[in-house]
Structure 1
Amino acid sequence: MSQPTTSEEGTTTTVITATTHLTLPAHPVPLSYDQLNPKSKPVEFFGPIGTAGISVIAPLFTYIFFYTCNDAVGCTPTTVSGWKYAWETVGYFPSEAGYLWEWKSFAVYLAWYAYCIACWKFLPGDKVQGNLLRDGTRKPYKMNGFNTLLLTLGLSLGVLLNPGGIQLFTWLHDHWVPLVSSSLVMATFQALWVYGYSYYNKELLSLGGNSGNFFYDFFMGRPLNPHPPFFSSFDIKTFNEVRPGMILWLILNISCACEQYVRLGTITDSMWVVILFEGWYTADCLIQEHTILNQMDITTDGFGYMLSMGDLTWVPFTYGLQARYLAFNPVTMGPIWASVVVAILLAGNYIFRAANNEKGNFRAGKNPKKLEFMTTERGTKLLTSGWWGRSRHPNYFGDWLMALGWCLPTGFKTPLTYYYIIYFVILLVHRQMRDDEACRKKYGKDWDKYCEIVPWKIIPYVY
């Protein structure tokens, strides 16, 4: 459309306005359930046989770590008679700490889990939108895990400051195995329930746990974001990731420190290093709770036995092995060795947090350090400087340093207390391989170009 106008000087100017009409469908055709949830191939962890094996072996090791490392048999028996005695204590342990089952412990564990849910429900917290799901929706999340931790520590301090409170707090240490069994019952129940319920409510499934093989899908997790009936805002997977298990890990460590105090009348420097730095790791995780929404556990993996057992049993009852060992086998490091260990822990924590902050800021559209990046054909940007220019997973390197720092205070009398660093090396190398495979599928030749720019996988200039 053109319209003549006259300027003040008497000249005529023609203004041309172009109008374009674009017709779009009012309601785009949604994808069907089968299109949103294609069948997957059971290839991870050597398929159904591997996942079935891990489902048995992993929880079994939580018991092995106790029965081969305790005040009755020592830690890692070194003689045939020692191993025989360790085997004989299974089911016949001289104290309640090694009882396979106890209903009181089960009631305590259920009360703990219910308490964590009540904190999620009633404590204040920020509302955060999750990542865009492939069905075009985003799940809302309530982030108040740090408030839950503060309340829990406050209640714990109230118990400890009362007369006899320290002895009372050793109850958790003294009921270790029945609490392990209780957590396994909860983890197994949840994995079975979400697996069965996913066939009923037609929820969004994970792309890696929909093979049709029970053993594989039960372990990997069939549903992506399962929730109880009528409580769609309660994401079981995200809740379990950092609350019941992570906070219980710290509380169990405090219980072990109380046990050491009851036995010695003091708390050694090694125990202080373990509970303070593992406690800081827990607090830091909950302060930055929103960052878990970008982790593979949340964005990609389904919720099954791998995550339920890992979150509820493996984390609190195996990550705390160092504190439990120090409770009955105290180690005094001295100022020089303690300073070395603390330096390793601080370095690991700095790398871990600095790397995650760079990634978090960049994904939020911020770039305060003016980091360099490359743009892929998909339009996604990949960092190529800062910590993410040094390696493709620098946060894993920080994790390894912290894991080593947690193990060193136990000394060198037994290799068992170093299981954590060995486990974390295997875990994060496997996760790095899964990450790289997923990114190669996602970015294609752009990922090969990125790997040329950032060749190191985890440890800069080493691996």
Structure 2
Amino acid sequence: MPTGTTTSAGSRKASPLNPRTTHREFFGFPGSVTVMATTVAVLYTWYFSCNEHDGCELPLTAARWQHILAGANNYQAYFNLQALKYYTLWWLWLAALYFILPGSRIQGVALRNGERLTYPINGLTSFLVTALTAVAVYVKTGTAPFLWIAEHYFELAVSGLIFSTSLALFVYIYSFRHSSVEREGKPVVMLALAGNSGNPIYDFFIGRELNPRIGSLDIKCFCELRPGIMGWVLLNVSFAIKQYVESGRILSSMWLAIVPQICYCIDTLLFEDKVLTTMDITTDGFGWMLAFGDLTWVPFMYSLQARYLSFNPVEFSTAYTVFVALLSVSSFLVFRLSNSQKNAFRTNPDDPKLKHLKFIKTESGSRLLVSGWWGMARHINYTGDWFYGLAQCLATGFGTPMTYFFSAYFLVLLIHRNYRDECKCRDKYKKDWDRYCEQVPYMFIPYVI
């Protein structure tokens, strides 16, 4: 055991750096159980009610529900040991690239104990190496590996669920290794403020440790950007190849769905260092919520549009194609340009290129933009993000509302994140936040809301 002072359970509750959680997200234990059960049920239902064998329709009839429930009792229909092996190898492949590939190393934000963790910035390089490897596989073996991925989508999704749940259980147990040990009055293991409630189910769900690491592998940051994001691209490409094999070409609707999503993934990796200042990294612990979200939900639910189009090709008029393409481009520009302006201002607010921007200075010393993109709405980047996702749903046409789940879910996610952001800012800036809201009264869309 490392040298230091070992405190009792009672004193840990009062630790200034690892205090006992008082406010529980998602209504605590009942909410966490509900979220876990609901998201898994949605993943399951959206596959068995929307596939090439049964169609993709809502509302679900009694007969369709019987079919779905019957599948739940036949685990052999969706558990595949080979799929689990391939999913694990995929995670390990990207973990190996995390260590092997060159890249700059930057420090994250200061933790509550004053420490700054170091992160390798080689996500985009990992993506390019993986993409080139996929091309080499295609040249050598043809379409077979990609068709296997498309045809075993749900077995891979179940493998993602098993893997992410196992990983969440591991990091929860791992968080107790030195959580009662201090060095120079500072805890060795930093816990998330929301994940130290003492309720094992809730803490397992929300994430007990802030930055679980094995050596220099930061598990949270790695999972946030690598296996799920790149897996999303691989699934989309596989579904496009499936459409090409079965239809003889890739239709414009498929391009409208997958190109923006691939661009979004590349953009995320291109600005990998910016994720280090997001709430996921700085505030949230790594538990089942993030593990499942990163490794299962993102790749397998966000690829629904491409999966639907792979077995239900849709053709559009030129006018509709241009409309969806323009919506994708314009909304992406809102998202990217607003985020770039914010990041540039945070990095160097005195940059001469930003001298035209107006801001208010808070008592905490921070500066809040009240012009430019951020004078239009307090979360203008969320607006661009949501319309960008809506455009991808519009690429599937109007044959079923099920392909619009992504847009509906993303709206709920962004509203919840907006609520958390607003609460955090109000607590941090106090009266200055009220002053800021008076100058920037709209949250998402100028003159609307």
Structure 1 length-normalised TM: 0.89
Q: Hey, what does 2:168 align to over in structure 1? A: 191
Q: Hey, what does 1:103 align to over in structure 2? A: 81
Is the contact between residue 67 and residue 90 of structure 1 (CA under 8 Å) also seen in structure 2? no
Q: Hey, what does 2:354 align to over in structure 1? A: 369
Q: Of the candidates 73, 77, 80, which is equivalent to residue 62 of structure 2?
A: 80
Deviation at 1:377, TM superposition (A): 0.5
2:354 maps to a residue whose letter is: K
Deviation at 1:313, TM superposition (A): 0.3
User: What CA deviation, in whole Å up to 9, does each residue of 1:349-376 have, x standing for no partner?
Assistant: 1011001101111111144232111111
The residue matched to 1:374 in structure 2 has which SS?
strand
Q: Hey, what does 2:183 align to over in structure 1? A: none
Q: Give aligned pairs, total.
A: 425
Deviation at 1:382, TM superposition (A): 1.1
The residue matched to 2:424 in structure 1 has which SS?
helix
Q: Hey, what does 1:155 align to over in structure 2? A: 133
User: What CA deviation, in whole Å up to 9, does each residue of 1:90-118 have, x standing for no partner?
Assistant: 4659xxxx932111111101110000001
Report the aligned-residue RMSD: 1.7
1:145 aligns with 2:145: no
Q: How far apart in 2 are the matches of 1:161 and 1:252? A: 18
Deviation at 1:166, TM superposition (A): 1.8
Q: Hey, what does 1:19 align to over in structure 2? A: none
Q: How far apart in 1 are the matches of 2:354 and 2:447? A: 23
Q: Percent identity?
A: 43
Q: How far apart in 2 are the matches of 1:91 and 1:179? A: 18
Q: How far apart in 1 are the matches of 2:428 and 2:383? A: 24
User: What CA deviation, in whole Å up to 9, does each residue of 1:17-59 have, x standing for no partner?
Assistant: xxxxxxxxxxxxxx99621011112432122101111112112
Q: How far apart in 2 are the matches of 1:209 and 1:201? A: 16
Is the contact between residue 159 and residue 169 of structure 1 (CA under 8 Å) also seen in structure 2? no
User: 1:454 and 1:76, CA in 2 relative to 1: closer, same or farther beyond 3 A?
Assistant: same
Q: Of the candidates 272, 294, 312, which is equivalent to residue 311 of structure 1?
A: 294
User: What CA deviation, in whole Å up to 9, does each residue of 1:215-251 have, x standing for no partner?
Assistant: 22111111110112xx0x2111111001000000000
Q: How far apart in 1 are the matches of 2:65 and 2:171? A: 39
1:435 aligns with 2:421: yes
The residue matched to 1:114 in structure 2 has which SS?
helix
Is the contact between residue 167 and residue 262 of structure 1 (CA under 8 Å) also seen in structure 2? no
Is the contact between residue 377 and residue 443 of structure 2 (CA under 8 Å) also seen in structure 1? yes
User: What CA deviation, in whole Å up to 9, does each residue of 1:275-322 have, x standing for no partner?
Assistant: 211100000110001110111111111111110000000000000000
Higher relative contact order (CA 8 A, sep 6+): 2
User: 1:46 and 1:88, CA in 2 relative to 1: closer, same or farther beyond 3 A?
Assistant: same
Is the contact between residue 220 and residue 281 of structure 2 (CA under 8 Å) also seen in structure 1? yes
User: What CA deviation, in whole Å up to 9, does each residue of 1:60-94 have, x standing for no partner?
Assistant: 2111111110011100255433443344444659x
Q: How far apart in 2 are the matches of 1:85 and 1:313? A: 24
The residue matched to 2:106 in structure 1 has which SS?
strand
Q: Hey, what does 2:151 align to over in structure 1? A: 174
Deviation at 1:208, TM superposition (A): 1.2
User: 1:369 and 1:333, CA in 2 relative to 1: closer, same or farther beyond 3 A?
Assistant: farther
Q: Hey, what does 1:24 align to over in structure 2? A: none
The residue matched to 1:382 in structure 2 has which SS?
strand
Show the 5 A alignment for 1:118-267. Answer: 118-162=96-140, 165-202=142-179, 203-228=189-214, 231=215, 233-267=216-250
2:423 maps to a residue whose letter is: E
Q: Hey, what does 1:327 align to over in structure 2? A: 310
Q: Of the candidates 405, 411, 414, which is equivalent to residue 391 of structure 2?
A: 405
Is the contact between residue 358 and residue 371 of structure 2 (CA under 8 Å) also seen in structure 1? yes
Q: Hey, what does 1:424 align to over in structure 2? A: 410
The residue matched to 1:56 in structure 2 has which SS?
helix
Q: How far apart in 2 are the matches of 1:217 and 1:176? A: 30
- Range with bigger deviation, 36-45 or 115-124: 36-45
1:355 aligns with 2:333: no
The residue matched to 2:209 in structure 1 has which SS?
coil
- Range with bigger deviation, 340-349 or 71-80: 71-80
Q: How far apart in 2 are the matches of 1:362 and 1:138? A: 21
Q: Of the candidates 32, 38, 41, which is equivalent to residue 19 of structure 2?
A: 38
1:136 maps to a residue whose letter is: G
User: 1:444 and 1:396, CA in 2 relative to 1: closer, same or farther beyond 3 A?
Assistant: same
User: 1:112 and 1:314, CA in 2 relative to 1: closer, same or farther beyond 3 A?
Assistant: same
Is the contact between residue 91 and residue 100 of structure 1 (CA under 8 Å) also seen in structure 2? no
User: What CA deviation, in whole Å up to 9, does each residue of 1:313-354 have, x standing for no partner?
Assistant: 000000000000000000012321111001111111101100
1:49 aligns with 2:30: yes
Q: Hey, what does 1:10 align to over in structure 2? A: none
Q: How far apart in 2 are the matches of 1:215 and 1:441? A: 28
- Range with bigger deviation, 35-44 or 324-333: 35-44
Q: How far apart in 1 are the matches of 2:148 and 2:73? A: 19
Is the contact between residue 165 and residue 292 of structure 2 (CA under 8 Å) also seen in structure 1? yes
Deviation at 1:160, TM superposition (A): 2.5
The residue matched to 1:459 in structure 2 has which SS?
coil
User: What CA deviation, in whole Å up to 9, does each residue of 1:389-446 have, x standing for no partner?
Assistant: 1111111001111110110011111100000110011000011001110111111111
Is the contact between residue 345 and residue 354 of structure 2 (CA under 8 Å) also seen in structure 1? no
Q: How far apart in 2 are the matches of 1:270 and 1:440? A: 43
Q: Of the candidates 337, 341, 360, which is equivalent to residue 324 of structure 2?
A: 341
Q: Of the candidates 245, 262, 269, which is equivalent to residue 279 of structure 1?
A: 262
Is the contact between residue 167 and residue 259 of structure 1 (CA under 8 Å) also seen in structure 2? no
The residue matched to 1:142 in structure 2 has which SS?
strand
Q: How far apart in 2 are the matches of 1:82 and 1:200? A: 48
Q: Hey, what does 2:182 align to over in structure 1? A: none
Q: Of the candidates 14, 39, 43, which is equivalent to residue 58 of structure 1?
A: 39
Is the contact between residue 150 and residue 235 of structure 2 (CA under 8 Å) also seen in structure 1? yes
Q: Hey, what does 1:389 align to over in structure 2? A: 375
Structure 2 residue runs without a partner (length 5+): 1-6, 180-188
